[in-house]
Structure 1
Amino acid sequence: MKELQRDLGLPSVLAISIGAMIGSGIFILPALALEIAGPAVILAYLLAGLLVVPAALSKSEMATAMPEAGGTYIYIERAMGPLLGTIAGVGTWFSLSFKGALALVGGVPYLLLLFDLPLQPVALGLAAVLILVNLVGAKQTGRLQLAIVVVMLAALGWFAAGSAPSVQSGNYAGFFDSGVGGLLAATGLVFVSYAGVTKVASVAEEVENPDRNIPLGILGSLVFTTLLYVGIVAVLVGVTDPGSVAGSLTPVAVAAEATLGQLGVIAVILAAILALISTANAGILSSSRYPFAMSRDKLAPPSLSTISDRFGTPTASITLTGAVLLVLIAFVPILEIAKLASAFQIMVFALINVAVVAFREGSTEYDPAFRSPLYPYVQIFGVVTGVLLLTQMGTVALAGAVLIVVGSVVWYLGYVRPRVDREGAATDAIRRQVGRDALTDVESTIDTATREVLVAFTKDVDEGRERALVSLAADLVRGDGGRVVAVRFDEIPDQAPLTADATVQSSADVSFESRMTALSTDLGVDIEGDEVVSHDTKHAVVNFADERGVDTVVAEHEPLRLRSRLVGDPVDWVVRHAPCDVLLVDNLGYEAPTSVALSGVNAPYPPLAVTVAEAVAAANDGTISLWHPVGGDSSDQRRRTIDEYQAELSAMLDVPVESESIRTDGGRPPRPDLLVRRGTATGPFDALLDDRPAFPTPGCTTVTVYPHESTRPSLTRRLGERLTF
C-alpha cells in the first residue's frame, strides 16, 4: 500500500490549524452571538477556547501515538470500535464539509462590499479552485495555507491595533445583562469557531516529526487563536455603538469603517476573504482524509483509499468531498446545516476525551510521545462540558445530529458489519473491568459459608430423584459443616380448611422422614425431614425459607403446565420472592459427579454458579470445566482477555479447573456429569439478556442458579457484560 509523504513542517501545521479556525468564527459569528449575550460575547469566546482544551490535549496525545490520516475517525474507531468509528468518520466528514461551504458562502458578503457579484457563482468558483489545489498535493496546500494565514493575520493585527485607541468603555455597559444562560448559549454558538483546532491531526500522516509538531501545532494554535478572538471581539464591541453590529453579515467591516475609514474596510475585506478561503481550504484538506482513512479500514469502498501516482494524494476521496461541497453550496441552506454539524462536532470532541481513557485503560498497544496532563480529570471535564454545551444548541441542531448518527448506523449495519470484525480499546477495557468485578464477587461469595439448604419437594417423586436432590444439597453444605432441611410441601384445595386433621402425618410422610434419616447417615451430613401443608405451595416454600433463614432453596425445575402459561410460572414467583438463593434442577440423576461443567455465555460466570460448581467438585474429588462459546466472529483480543479472566478464576478455586471451547454454530457439547449455568431472572428486559439457548443441554442433570436479588448484577452491568463478553 502506498503511503502519504511527510512534508508538512511546524509552520504549515500551525497555518493549517489557525487557518481552519479563523474564518466564520471571527468574521460572521460575533454579530450573531452579540444578539444572544451582548458584550459578554467577549467572555463567551474565552470560555469556548478553554472548553476546547481537553479535546486538544486528548487529540494531541493520540496523534503522537497514531500519526495516521483520518485523525478523529482513527482515534475513535480504534478506541470505541467500528460502529462509533463509522459515526465519527461520517459525521465529522460532513461537519467539515458543511463548515467549509459555510465559510465560502459567508465570505462573499465581504466581497460584495467592493464588487457587485452574485454570491453563489463566486462561492462555487472558489470551491472549484480549492479542490484543484488539494488534488495537486499537501505540500502545495500547506504552502498556500501559510501564505493565506500570514496575510490574514497582518490585516487583522492592523485592525486590532489601529482600532484599540478608539475603544469606548461605555460600550461594555450591561456586560452580564443576558445572564449565565445567555453566556452559555453564546458559548455554544461560537464553540464551532475552534472546531478546526484539531483538524491537523487528520493529516498527521503527512506531518514531519509528528511527536513534536502535532502537539505544538494544536496547542500553540489554540492559545494564539483564543487570544486573537478575544482581542478582536473586545475591540469590535468597544468601538461600535451597542447593538449596531448585532445581526450584521459583515460586523468586522462595520467596526473597521468606524475607526480606520475606507482603507481599514478594504484591509478587513481582504482578511475576511482570505480567512474564509483558508477555512474552506483546510476543510477540504482534512475532511477528504476521513473517507480515505475509513476506506483503508474497510468502513468505506476501497476506491476511496486510492493514491494518485502523479500527485501522491487521495484523489477519489478529495473528489468526493469536493463534489459534496459543491452540492451544498449550490442547493442547501448552509448556515442551518452548519449549526447542525456544530452540535455533532461537540459530541465528537466529547468522544475524543473518552477515547483517551479507553486507550489508557485498555490493553491495546498505546505509547504516545505526548501525554495529556491531569489525566483523567481533564477528559472528564471535557465530556461534562460538552454535554452542557449540547443542551444550548437547540432541538433542531440535536435532531440533525441524531439523523447523522442514524444514517451512520444504517451504513455500518449495511456495509461495514459484514466486512469488519474489529473491536475498540474501550470494549476491551470495559470487558477487563467487568471481569475484575466478577472475580471480586466470586472471591466474596467463596468466603461466605453455606449453613443450611432447603430441599423443597413440591410433588411426588421417586426415591431416585429424591436422593439426587438431597445428595446435591448435602454436597453444597458438606464443606462448611452445614445441614439440609428436606421438606415435602402438600397443597390442598382452598375450600378445604387447614385443620388438625390436614396436618396428621401419613404413612408416606413417616417413610419420607425415615429415608432422610438414613440419607443423613449415608451421606455424612445432618439432614432433617419435614412436611408442610398449605393452600399455596409457592407461598409456603418462600415462607418456610424465610422463617428458617436458609441460605439456599433447591427444587426440581418443573415443566410449565397450561395454567402456568396462562397466569404465570409459579417458579418465577418463587425466584422473585425467595429470601435467599434458588437452585432449580433438571433432575436426571446425581451420582457422585466428578465432571462438573460451568457454562458462561456473553457474561462472566455468576459467583453463585462458581461456588455451586466448586462445592460439588470438591465434595466428589472432581474437576470443573469452564465452558465458553467460540464463534467465527470472536476477535483475538476478546479471546485473550477471556483466557486471562478464566486463568485468574481458576487460580481462585481449590479444585482442578480446565477451559473448554464450545462451538455455538451446531453440534452438541460434551456430556459432563453435572452442568451449572446462569438462570434468567424475571425482569422485563431479562429475556433480551438470556444466554441459555446458546449451549444445548448436554443430556445430564442441570442446575440453574438464581442468586438472591440483593446479589444480582444491575441491568446496566448485565448489559455491559453482554456487549463485551
Structure 2
Amino acid sequence: MKELERDLGLPSVLAISIGAMIGSGIFILPALALKIAGPAVILAYLLAGLLVVPAALSKSEMATAMPEAGGTYIYIERGMGPLLGTVAGVGTWFSLSFKGALALVGGVPYLLLLLDLPLKPVALGLAGLLILVNLIGAKQTGRLQVGIVVVMLAALGWFAAGSAPGVQSSNYADFFADGIGGLLAATGLVFVSYAGVTKVASVAEEVENPSRNIPLGILGSLAFTTVLYVAIVAVLVGITDPGTIAGSLTPVADAAQVTLGEAGVVAVILAAILALISTANAGILSSSRYPFAMSRDGLAPPSLSSVSDRFGTPVTSITLTGAVLLVLIAFVPILDIAKLASAFQIMVFGLINVAVVAFREGNAEYDPAFTSPLYPWMQVFGAVTGVLLLTQMGTVALLGALVITVGSVVWYAAYVRPRVRREGVATDAIRRQVGRNALTDVADATKDGTHQILVALPKEIGHDRERALVALAADVVRPDDGRVVAVRFEEIPDQAPLTETAAVQSSTDISFETRIEALTDEVGVDVEADEVVSHDTKHAIVNFAEGHEIDAILAEHEPLRLRSRLLGDPVDWVARHAPCNVLLVDNLGYDDPEHVVLAGDGTPFSPRTVTVAGAVASANDGYISLWYPDGADTTEQHRTTMDDYRTDLSETLSVPIRSGTVWTDGGTQSPPDLLVRSGDDGRLRGAFSGDGPFVPNPGCTTVTVYPRVDRRPPLGRRLLERFVF
C-alpha cells in the first residue's frame, strides 16, 4: 500500500492551523461579542484561547499516538465507543456546517461594501457555487492556502499597526459593565474562532517528525492567533466610539475606515472575502467528510459513503451537508448561527479531553510520542469549563446542544446499536474499574461476616423444611463461628390479646423449641429457638431483627401469585425494610451441597451473594460454578475483561471456582445442588415476575440474597454497571 510522504514541516503545520482559525472569528464575531460584553470582549478572546489549551494538548497527544487516523470523530469514537462517537460525529458535522454558514453570512456584507446587492441571495448563491465545487472535486492547493494566510496576516497587521496610534483610552471605560455573565457569554460566542486549531491533526500522517511538529504547530498557532485576536480587538475597540460598531456586519472595515481610509478598507475587504470564502469552502469540504466517515464505520446509512464514479467525491454526503448549509443561511439569524457553532465546538472539545483519559486509563494499545502535561487535571479543567461556558451562552445554544445530543442518542439506539458491535477503550476502562470496586466490596463483605442469623418461620412448614432452613443458616454463619436463632412467628387477629394467645400457644406446643435446639449437634453451630406472637408478622420479623442485632434474616418463600405481584407480599416488605441482609429460600431441600452455583446477569456478582455462596461451599468442602448469560453479542474485549474479573474473584475466595458455565435458554451443562443469586433492588417482583436475572430452572433450592438497605448500590452505580456490562 502506498504511504503518504511526510513532507510537512513546522512552517506548513503553523500555516495550516493559523489559516484554519483566522476568518469569522476576527471579521464578524467581535461586533456580536462587543454587544454582549462591551470592552471586555478583549478579555473574552484571551479567555477563549486559554480554555482551548486543554483540547489542543489532548488532540496533540492523540495525533502523535494515532498519526494515521486523523479527525476528531475518529479519536472520540475509538476512545469512547460508538455512542459518544455518534454524538461527536453529528456534533462536529453541525459545528463545521454552522461555521461555514457563519463565514458566508458574515463574509458577504464585506463584499456588499463594493457591490450593491441583497445579502441572503448572494450568500445562497456563493454557498451553491461552493457546494458545486466540492461535488466536482476541486480542492484548494497548499499554495493557495498559504497565499490566503499571507494576505490575511498582511492586511490585519497593517490594520493593527496603522490603527494603534489612534487608540483612545476612554473607549475602554466601564470595561466590566456587563459583569462576569457578559464576559462568559461572549467567551462562549467567540470560542468557535479557535475551532481550526487542531485541524492539522487530520493530516498528521503527512507531518515530518510528528512528535515534535504537531504539538509545536498546534500550540504555537494557538498562541500566535490568540495574541493576534486580542491585539486586533483591542485596537478595534480603542479606535471606535463606544457602541458604534457593536452589532455591525463589517466591524473591521468600519474600524479601518476611521484610521486607514479607503485603502485600508479595500485591503480589509479583500482579506475578509478571501478568508471567509476559504473558511466556507473548507467547512463544506471537512463537514461533508463526517457523515462519510460515520457511514464507513456503520454509524450512518451506507449511501452516505458512496463515492461518485464520475467525480470521485462523496456526492450524497456533500449534498446533505450543502442542504443543511443552505437552510442555515436562509432561515437562521447570524447571532444564533454563531452561538450554535460555538456550542457544538465546545461539546466536541470537551469530548476530546475525556477521550484522552479514556485512552490513558483503558486497556488498548496507546503509545503517544507527546503526552499532555498536568494529566488528568488539564483534561478535567477543559471538560468542566466547557460545561460552564455552555450554561452561560443562552437558551439557543443550550437547546441546540441538547437537541443534537438527544437526537444523536436516539439515532444510536434506533440505527447504530443493532448494527455495530464495537466499543471504545473508555467503556472497558470503566468496566475494569467497576470490577475492581466489586472485588473490594466482596472483601469488605467477608470482613463484616454473619455472626447471628434469624430463621423466620411464619407458619408450620414441616420438620424436613425446618431442618433444611436451619442447616442452610448454619452453613452461612459457620465461617464466623456464629449462631442461628430460629423463631416461629404467629399472626393473630387484631381483636385477640397477645399475652393470652401466647400463653395458649406456649402450653399447647412445647415441641418446637426442643425440636429446633436438638439440631445444634447435627448442624455443628449453636441453635436457639423462640416464638413470637403478633398482629403483624412482617413488622414482628423486622422488629425482632432490630432488637437482637441480627446480621441476616433467612426465610422461606413461594412463587408469588398474581394478586401478590400486584398488591405486594409481606416478605417483599421485609426484604425492603429489614435492618440486615435478607436471604429468601425457594426450599426444595438442603443436603450437604457440594456444587454451589453463583448466578448473575452479566454484571459483577453482588458481594453478599458471593459471601453466601462461598460460605456454603466451604462448609461442605464443595466448589462454586459461575452462571451468567451467553453474551453472544458482546465484544472480544468485553469477554476478556470479564474473564479477568472472574479470575480475580477466584483468587479472592477460599473455595475453588470451576470455569464459568455459560447458561442460555437451552439449559446448563451440570446440575447444581444449590443456586445463589441477587435480588432485584430489594423487590421480589424482580426475582419472581421475570424482571430480575433469568436463570434456567436449576432443579434445586434457590437462595435470593437482598443486602441491607444501606448497603445496596445507589441507582447511579447500577445504571453504570448496566451500561458498561
For the residue of structure 1 that corresponds to 2:448, the secondary structure is: coil
Give, as a single letter, the amino acid of the residue that structure 1 aligns with 2:102: L
For the residue of structure 1 that corresponds to 2:603, the secondary structure is: coil
* Structure 2 residue 609 is matched with structure 1 residue 609: yes
1:273-303 superposed Cα distances (whole Å, 9 cap, x missing partner): 1221222133233223312321221212345
Residues 70, 294 of structure 1: 8 Å contact kept? no
For the residue of structure 2 that corresponds to 1:658, the secondary structure is: coil
Residue in structure 1 matched with residue 38 of structure 2 by the alignment: 38
CA apart distance, 1:702: 0.5
Residue in structure 1 matched with residue 415 of structure 2 by the alignment: 415
For the residue of structure 1 that corresponds to 2:596, the secondary structure is: strand
Give, as a single letter, the amino acid of the residue that structure 1 aligns with 2:704: T
Give, as a single letter, the amino acid of the residue that structure 2 aligns with 1:47: L
Residue in structure 1 matched with residue 291 of structure 2 by the alignment: 291
Deviates more, 1:704-713 or 1:516-525: 516-525
Deviates more, 1:381-390 or 1:336-345: 336-345
* Structure 2 residue 699 is matched with structure 1 residue 699: yes
Pairing 1:306-455 to 2, within 5 Å after superposition: 317-318=317-318, 320-326=320-326, 328-329=328-329, 333=333, 335-455=335-455
CA apart distance, 1:463: 1.3
Residue in structure 1 matched with residue 502 of structure 2 by the alignment: 502
Give, as a single letter, the amino acid of the residue that structure 2 aligns with 1:620: N
Pairing 1:446-485 to 2, within 5 Å after superposition: 446-485=446-485
CA apart distance, 1:659: 3.0
Residues 328, 337 of structure 2: 8 Å contact kept? no
1:381-411 superposed Cα distances (whole Å, 9 cap, x missing partner): 1111111111112112221222222332333
Residue in structure 1 matched with residue 273 of structure 2 by the alignment: 273
Residue in structure 1 matched with residue 180 of structure 2 by the alignment: 180
Residue in structure 2 matched with residue 557 of structure 1 by the alignment: 557
Query: 1:556 & 1:685 partners in 2: Cα distance?
Result: 16
* Alpha-carbon distance change, 3 to 597 in structure 1, aligned in 2, over 3 angstroms: farther
Query: 1:691 & 1:653 partners in 2: Cα distance?
Result: 29
CA apart distance, 1:514: 2.0
Pairing 1:22-421 to 2, within 5 Å after superposition: 22-68=22-68, 71-127=71-127, 130-131=130-131, 140-205=140-205, 207=207, 209-305=209-305, 317-318=317-318, 320-326=320-326, 328-329=328-329, 333=333, 335-421=335-421
Residue in structure 1 matched with residue 656 of structure 2 by the alignment: 656
Residues 687, 693 of structure 2: 8 Å contact kept? no
CA apart distance, 1:118: 3.8
For the residue of structure 2 that corresponds to 1:368, the secondary structure is: coil
Give, as a single letter, the amino acid of the residue that structure 1 aligns with 2:237: V
* Alpha-carbon distance change, 26 to 690 in structure 1, aligned in 2, over 3 angstroms: farther
Residue in structure 2 matched with residue 577 of structure 1 by the alignment: 577
Residues 134, 141 of structure 1: 8 Å contact kept? no
Residue in structure 1 matched with residue 541 of structure 2 by the alignment: 541
Query: 2:280 & 2:212 partners in 1: Cα distance?
Result: 26
Query: 1:685 & 1:78 partners in 2: Cα distance?
Result: 39
1:540-579 superposed Cα distances (whole Å, 9 cap, x missing partner): 1111111111111100023435764454221222122212
Query: 1:3 & 1:462 partners in 2: Cα distance?
Result: 80
CA apart distance, 1:325: 3.3
Query: 2:433 & 2:41 partners in 1: Cα distance?
Result: 44
Residues 61, 368 of structure 1: 8 Å contact kept? yes
Residues 20, 283 of structure 1: 8 Å contact kept? no
Residues 575, 683 of structure 2: 8 Å contact kept? no
For the residue of structure 2 that corresponds to 1:631, the secondary structure is: coil
Query: 1:470 & 1:326 partners in 2: Cα distance?
Result: 76
Query: 2:686 & 2:623 partners in 1: Cα distance?
Result: 31
For the residue of structure 2 that corresponds to 1:657, the secondary structure is: coil
Unaligned regions of 5+ residues in structure 2, if any?
Answer: none
Give, as a single letter, the amino acid of the residue that structure 2 aligns with 1:678: S
CA apart distance, 1:2: 9.0
* Alpha-carbon distance change, 48 to 615 in structure 1, aligned in 2, over 3 angstroms: same
Residues 468, 589 of structure 1: 8 Å contact kept? yes
Deviates more, 1:695-704 or 1:504-513: 504-513
* Alpha-carbon distance change, 212 to 305 in structure 1, aligned in 2, over 3 angstroms: farther
Deviates more, 1:239-248 or 1:554-563: 554-563
Deviates more, 1:615-624 or 1:425-434: 425-434
CA apart distance, 1:73: 1.0
Residues 343, 398 of structure 2: 8 Å contact kept? yes
Give, as a single letter, the amino acid of the residue that structure 1 aligns with 2:174: G
Percent identity between the two aligned chains: 77
Residue in structure 1 matched with residue 586 of structure 2 by the alignment: 586
For the residue of structure 1 that corresponds to 2:498, the secondary structure is: coil
Query: 2:314 & 2:513 partners in 1: Cα distance?
Result: 84
CA apart distance, 1:215: 2.3
For the residue of structure 1 that corresponds to 2:662, the secondary structure is: strand
Query: 1:113 & 1:457 partners in 2: Cα distance?
Result: 92
Residues 602, 723 of structure 1: 8 Å contact kept? no
Query: 1:244 & 1:683 partners in 2: Cα distance?
Result: 67
Residues 669, 698 of structure 1: 8 Å contact kept? no
Deviates more, 1:39-48 or 1:83-92: 83-92
CA apart distance, 1:462: 1.4
Residues 602, 724 of structure 1: 8 Å contact kept? no
Give, as a single letter, the amino acid of the residue that structure 2 aligns with 1:677: R
Deviates more, 1:531-540 or 1:494-503: 494-503
Deviates more, 1:153-162 or 1:178-187: 178-187
For the residue of structure 1 that corresponds to 2:102, the secondary structure is: helix
CA apart distance, 1:590: 0.4
Query: 1:269 & 1:424 partners in 2: Cα distance?
Result: 46
* Structure 2 residue 701 is matched with structure 1 residue 708: no
Residues 452, 552 of structure 1: 8 Å contact kept? yes
1:607-645 superposed Cα distances (whole Å, 9 cap, x missing partner): 111110111000000001122222221111111111111
Give, as a single letter, the amino acid of the residue that structure 2 aligns with 1:528: E
Residues 603, 718 of structure 1: 8 Å contact kept? no
Query: 2:720 & 2:391 partners in 1: Cα distance?
Result: 27
Query: 1:721 & 1:691 partners in 2: Cα distance?
Result: 17
Residue in structure 2 matched with residue 674 of structure 1 by the alignment: 674
Give, as a single letter, the amino acid of the residue that structure 2 aligns with 1:231: A
Unaligned regions of 5+ residues in structure 1, if any?
Answer: none
Query: 2:663 & 2:269 partners in 1: Cα distance?
Result: 69
Residues 200, 286 of structure 1: 8 Å contact kept? no
Give, as a single letter, the amino acid of the residue that structure 1 aligns with 2:91: G
Give, as a single letter, the amino acid of the residue that structure 2 aligns with 1:395: T
CA apart distance, 1:169: 1.1
For the residue of structure 1 that corresponds to 2:454, the secondary structure is: strand
CA apart distance, 1:126: 3.9
Aligned residues: 725
